[in-house]
Amino acid sequence: MTSIERLGINVIKALAMDAPHEARSGHQGTAMALAPLAHVLWTRIMRYDAERPDWPDRDRFVLSAGHASILQYAMLHLTGHGLTLDDLRHFRQWGSPTPGHPEVGCTPGVEVTTGPLGQGIANAVGMAIAERQLRTRFGAEICDHRIFVIAGDGDLSEGISHEAASLAGHLGLGRLAVVYDDNRVTIDGGTDLALSDDAAGRFRAYGWHVVELGEAAEDLDALEAGLRAAAEVGDRPSLVILRSVIAAGAPQASGTPAAHGYALFDEEIAATKELMGLPADESFHIPAEVLDHYRQAGTAGQSERFAWEARTAAFDGDRAGLEACLAASGRAGWEESLPSWAPGQSVATRQASSATLKALLAVVPGLTGGGADLTGNTGTAIAGAGVFSAGEPGGRQIYFGVREHAMGAIANGMTLHGGAIPVVGTFLVFADYMRPAVRLAALSEAKVIFVWSHDSVGVGEDGPTHQPVEHLASLRAIPNLRVIRPADATETVGAWRVAVESPGPTALILTRQGVPVLAETRAEAVAAGGYALREPDDPALTLVATGSEVAVCCDAADALSAEGVVARVVSLPSWELFAEQPRAEQDRILRPDLPSLAVEAGATMGWHRWTDEAVGIDRFGASAPGAVVMEKLGISAANVAARAKELLRGRTDST
């Protein structure tokens, strides 16, 4: 270790103390312990160019132990990624690009939004999948990089890391290297309170290459050797196990559970700095020679970026496909490949979705993914494009196995890496298993297409454990998640068009059972979120529905018409898209001057925003044929017509 390296590492440790102390909030100890590791990664190992943090062929860094965010922010400032010293001073403050946990899109150089432990590991698995697919499809001259992760005891304890690591080992993702910071400290105390796993044995059983560095957290050459050994394994992901001491260098806090959080105050910080040879009374002190050293490291990859740009400019392969992948878009004119169905056919919307996906494969080359052991059931089969595996690294069909939570987080990593539009599927009721990853997709504005089929009690005989009731309401509660429940095959095509054209995540909520293709539905209208299917003269009320219940409302309107009651019918496939419309347009569609009744085979929560009353299911379902369950729980044209007449009588009585 040279003198400038030692000084630089001490500066990183000091920043790890100063920023949380300034904020009176944050996690100091892990960042201090891993300062030497961060130094080695950013100066000896990773290939990047700080002037172009979005260079597509850069190495990726994921801080799965996101509570140690000040470590990443310190390195991004020192290497010249655009963070200023004032940004570090405003750590965890309103409007600062240095939030409590790393957030993609907020801070240049942050690749994924981590925080909930274990997510980053799964994100990195997705990045490794995307890297391998691109490298195979377009060549190593276009894509050839690695993914590095820092994870802690909490990451390895969470179940999602088990799911993701198992799949990564099975797929042989050799460009993935995870450093496990085994500091044996948790918030409650030592990890031995609740953890006695053999991490090395577990990961070897997953099929990973394991490097056990022992107590080498301050040995730069050992760290470099371990990381290079991990990076050079081509056929397996690698786990580098490092035993560190939390808050290393602090005379009182070192090795204590308190150091997991904000535990170093004025006297302890001053004493630690004095031991490190830094000014004890100066915060955010960065000697000029240290900043110069790291800034040189930040631009060391510039020549490699220039060479990549030259190779890309000379690329004579499928340039249109490459550009579409990197832009997460379709080829020119891709919309012309969308299928259509004739009115009167009975088509489950999951089947319509499957047909649409197949039609788009050739014209939207970034589409890739599959299901959590429900690929055929959810219509997420990507036929004819190969099965992604160690032996077929360019395949676009991914079998995730029964791993819903990891599947969601892996998809986030794939799209945030760039080059992929991931499509992932399972039953709607199992969205609960992947909700944390879905929430982070929305927070990250990650372009993932979530396909959730078997969308109601119409699932039938499987019973209430498999019949989603509250799930639509719970998904609609997530900000930035675009939820679309199409009425039929025609609207399903429109939903896919929105998903491909729009940024951020889209949830497609699809039926298991066949539903009629309605003559009045319009694919292009889905983008508005809602529209009137039936607009008769002198209507008495409006029936509003989503999904399979739109047809129910049409039948109810026919029944009401036979009794002399004229009803409008509105399809409202996406509340989120509809909410983006001007208020005048919303009023034109919903007609607030008329009484309105919503119909949806799920919880009625939230419908008061759009309609006066709602027919729904505010209880769990039952095991019986789907049509029987629907009928018994009031999702029928007869019940809707009866409820509509009650609404009209109530309106008449109140006047």
For residues 124 and 197, membership in a common domain is answered with yes
For residues 399 and 502, membership in a common domain is answered with yes
Euclidean distance between CA atoms 193 and 346, whole angstroms: 57
Average pLDDT of the chain to the nearest whole number? 97
Establish if 178 belongs to a structural domain: yes
Contacts within 8 Å (CB) and 24+ apart, 111-116: 111/60, 111/61, 111/62, 111/416, 111/417, 112/62, 112/412, 112/413, 112/416, 112/444, 113/440, 113/443, 113/444, 114/62, 114/63, 114/64, 114/65, 114/66, 115/66, 115/67, 115/440, 116/158, 116/436, 116/440
For residues 110 and 140, membership in a common domain is answered with yes
Q: How many helices (H) and strands (E) does the chain have?
A: 25, 17
For residues 452 and 389, membership in a common domain is answered with yes
- Look up 404 and say whether it is catalytic: yes
For residues 399 and 496, membership in a common domain is answered with yes
Q: Among the options 131, 163, 268, 404, which is catalytic? A: 404
Looking at the predicted structure, is the pLDDT value of residue 394 above 90?
Answer: yes
Establish if 325 belongs to a structural domain: no
Q: Which two tokens stand for residue 545?
A: 């529905």
Looking at the predicted structure, is the pLDDT value of residue 550 above 90?
Answer: yes
pTM, whole model, 2 decimals?
0.97
Q: 429-438 burial string, b = 16+ CB within 10 Å, else e?
A: bbbebbbbbb
Establish if 146 belongs to a structural domain: yes
What confidence score (pLDDT) does residue 383 get? 87
Looking at the predicted structure, is the pLDDT value of residue 607 above 90?
Answer: yes
What confidence score (pLDDT) does residue 653 get? 67
Instruction: Give the CATH number for residue 627.
Output: 3.40.50.920
The pLDDT tens digits for 323-350 are 999 999 999 999 999 999 999 999 999 9
Establish if 324 belongs to a structural domain: no
The pLDDT tens digits for 529-539 are 999 999 999 99
Looking at the predicted structure, is the pLDDT value of residue 104 above 60?
Answer: yes
Q: Mean pLDDT over residues 65-84, rounded?
A: 98
For residues 373 and 453, membership in a common domain is answered with yes
Establish if 41 belongs to a structural domain: yes
Give the residue from 483, 516, 549 where a domain finishes: 516
For residues 504 and 356, membership in a common domain is answered with yes
Looking at the predicted structure, is the pLDDT value of residue 652 above 80?
Answer: no
Q: Quick one: pLDDT band at residue 308, thresholds 50, 70, 90?
A: very high
For residues 287 and 342, membership in a common domain is answered with no
Looking at the predicted structure, is the pLDDT value of residue 542 above 70?
Answer: yes
Are 204 and 241 in contact by the 8 Å Cβ rule? The answer is no
What confidence score (pLDDT) does residue 610 get? 98
Q: Mean pLDDT over residues 220-229, rounded?
A: 97
Looking at the predicted structure, is the pLDDT value of residue 655 above 60?
Answer: no
Which amino acid makes up residue 154? G
Looking at the predicted structure, is the pLDDT value of residue 227 above 90?
Answer: yes
What confidence score (pLDDT) does residue 654 get? 61
Are 239 and 226 in contact by the 8 Å Cβ rule? The answer is no
- Residue 614: which H helix or E strand, with range? strand 613-615
For residues 291 and 344, membership in a common domain is answered with no
For residues 373 and 507, membership in a common domain is answered with yes
Establish if 215 belongs to a structural domain: yes
What confidence score (pLDDT) does residue 554 get? 98
Instruction: Give the CATH number for residue 197.
Output: 3.40.50.970
Establish if 95 belongs to a structural domain: yes
Q: Which one, of 547, 542, 524, 519, lies nearest residue 532 by Cα?
A: 542
Give the residue from 304, 325, 360 where a domain finishes: 304
Give the residue from 487, 516, 545 where a domain finishes: 516
Establish if 218 belongs to a structural domain: yes
Range of the domain at 633: 529-654
Q: 266-290 burial string, b = 16+ CB within 10 Å, else e?
A: eebbbbbbeebebebeebebbeeeb
Number of domains within the chain: 3
The pLDDT tens digits for 608-646 are 999 999 999 999 999 999 999 999 999 999 999 999 999
The pLDDT tens digits for 157-179 are 999 999 999 999 999 999 999 99
